[in-house]
Structure 1
Amino acid sequence: MKFISTRGQTPATNIDDALSAGLAPDGGLYVPERIPVIASTQPFSTLAETAHAVLAPYFTDSKLHDRLADICTHAFSFEAPLRPLKNPSAASEQAASERAASKQNFLLELFHGPTAAFKDYAARFLAEALSGLRTPEAPVTTILVATSGDTGAAVAAAFHRRPGFEVVILYPDGKVSPRQAHGLGCWGDNVRAFRVDGSFDDCQRMAKQALSDVELRNAVSLSSANSISLGRLLPQAAYYAHAASHHAARHGEPLNFIVPTGNLGNACAALVAQRMGAPIGEIRLATNANDTLPRYFAGDEYAPQPTRATLANAMDVGAPSNFERLRHWHRDDAELRHAIRAQGVDDATIRATIAAAPACHGIVPCPHTATGLFLLEQLRAQGDTRHWAVVATAHPAKFESIVEPLVGHAVEPPPALAESLARPASAEALPADYAALHAILTTATN
């Protein structure tokens, strides 16, 4: 299978080269020439087995083909459980109706990896894949990643002390949670974290400029681990296919997903799984107050906006990179708007949803997951009785300063997160200026 750029100005290439490059030379995002259909939608026992089945068609011509099963076993060594949400307990006619509807409410938990966020799955896959493609004589590769909170930590964990790789993380100073910032700067060794004096969009702009800089890439071996990378996009389709296939086998109907999103990578992965034939119904997107996507899906022209800081900071994106992929996969705006809907959720609603979630749903959500829970509640209020799963993108303990005052008790971090919090952390200051980043990248491997 060949892979092409969303901008159409780059020759088709194989997946190995697309993975190594990260971004296409014309500045576009790599996509498969076609999305293959899975031979069977019967559920596999483990997430790793599902991942292998989903990814194998894309790796038929890859040097990694014979190692793909082992790579998936390592990357998907922790599950992504689909759990039913709790029934409301109030005794009333309305509560009885809510209890009936809640039997179709599910949570897809994607926070059981080493950094307690959904990014762990694909980051680990990408690290294994790039290591497998590396030759002994190859120069050190710098993995450049812009993060709005969770991506950087997942990439750092996946590449930490991995021979032949250095990691440069860019994050917006003061616009991630304290625990997220700690998780970005606690690695050392081959990982450097930079707190950028700007927004996530500034970080993303700088990273994409570096990856499109031909002169720089001739001097430095550079790759990306953002969701613009195929190595992030394709593996994430696995947990959607896994959850949907098990749900269909048990309930006899497709599973609909509500995906909290900022840069659209996780949302695009759900669409890939759906197009590969996984029993997925509708896909809805939940954003925060950064409303570029809700305005577009409501009929406005696509118009990126300056980023606004919100409680759901990992979704603070005003110019989502993966929108290029969504447009590539649809004939026109009308078809895209028909396929997907999006709704924004403001901070006041996020707070109210978090506060009510223990009683209403039996969980404590992170702010991002709360946006999805609110959309679920809206759907039920409108009479929707289909089976819906909210995607839980991160563990609430990463946002304890927001969550704990709202639920009235401490939220214990999972063991891996607690371990990283116990290590010292530091980050270097960096202006939102490409020249400053260029200087860092040209000296990183020297």
Structure 2
Amino acid sequence: MDLLRKFLAENSHIQFAASDSPDFADLCSAFIINATKKPSLIVRPRSAEDISGLVSILTTNDIPFTIRGGGHDMFGRSQVDGAVTIDMREICHVHVDSASKTARVGGGIISMNLLKELEKHQMVTPHPVTPSVGYVGWAIHGGYGLLSTKYGLGVDQIVGATVVDANGNILEADERMLTVIRGGGGAVGVIVEVKTKIYPLDQVLAGAIIYQPSELVTGFRDFNTNFQQAKRDGFPPELGIYRFIMNGPTGKAQIVLFLWASSDISEGQKWLSTVSSWAPLGMSTVAPTTIAAFNEVTNSMVPKIAYGTIHAPIFRSLTPEVVDVIGKHALLQPNNPEVLFGIHELRADAPMSSNGSIFNARQAHVLIEIIPITGSLDTLYETMAWGQNFNDALLATDAANRLSCSYIPLNPTRDLEFKGIYGSQYETLREIKTELDPDNKFKHALVQL
């Protein structure tokens, strides 16, 4: 550690904090309070050169380290007890090239801040439903979102990257390295910057459709029946939907985040009327707006910190059996306002990039997020028990309807079976990992081989 401290002393522009620093607790703080670890040192580099110097010292001296982007990992894996945390949040630039429809994005950018910057250029890019998470960490591991049906997953937007490898070299990723980055994340280096596709889009039609709490179970079932029929009849790629059940002032309600990603607002209004009719309607906040403004509202619905965890089983479809389990456990959902569950869906009509990628979950599927979180330790046991029972009940449904893959960011490392997750891409991952990081210096990345 002496060489590291000497390096930091010689580079006074790099902020860092040890356990006895007054700002250490704030810099350590992550979304899930009970998963927060205590690193030996938190370092906040500001450039690729800073990271190059840090990694050279850390890997040469076998000092364990982790990379923190946004700090929203539900299992606290962006930090490790006793290790050095390289906190990327000072590297948060956005450089837009409207002519090539790409943007170079810093490895520590928060998604909400990226959307605000893109809006200045009347541009958008696929982004997470929860915009407070780190953009790069979301994109490199897959990246579900409301724009996926129109533009594809987050991983499919990556066309370039600047990386610091295990020897401290600053590299522009070639296609071989990019293949691993697209789905394997930081397994082979520190991702300082990604070059991502962006798309011209100004006004959208977006907001929340809130259905009647008194008709929660039947309303969820009716919505699902109508939604499946609409997909069979032909569903527009411009329409993104994220369903969730959340506690509100009038009780538990099914809520749909509705995003019509087109300037043809009149056509979007027709679909708004259709989707609103799929279950007994309570109210709607859907209106013409911008992507950034819509996400500001979404951001306000999510707590900043909480106790708890997450479960994320994946199914081929929402069969009647799965819907019945959801209905039963929705009624049992604890009443604290933070707890919820939601449904991401990769629809069959979503565009799939031809770019090389090891992300393997390419068939149509639904990912159910069970999020048993709470702001109080007093309700933590009840909340966690509900989430576990809900997950167990879903996993007891017809095994033929489940996919073998798991979504890495939403599952604890102990439950990840990488051969199943990557399928035919697994050997490609192992080969490139062995070539680019033979000594496994990036052993604390989410993808651990």
- TM-score with structure 2 length normalisation? 0.25
Bigger fraction of residues in helix? 1
Bigger fraction of residues in strand? 2
- Structure with higher RCO (Cα < 8 A, 6+ apart): 1
Larger Rg: 2
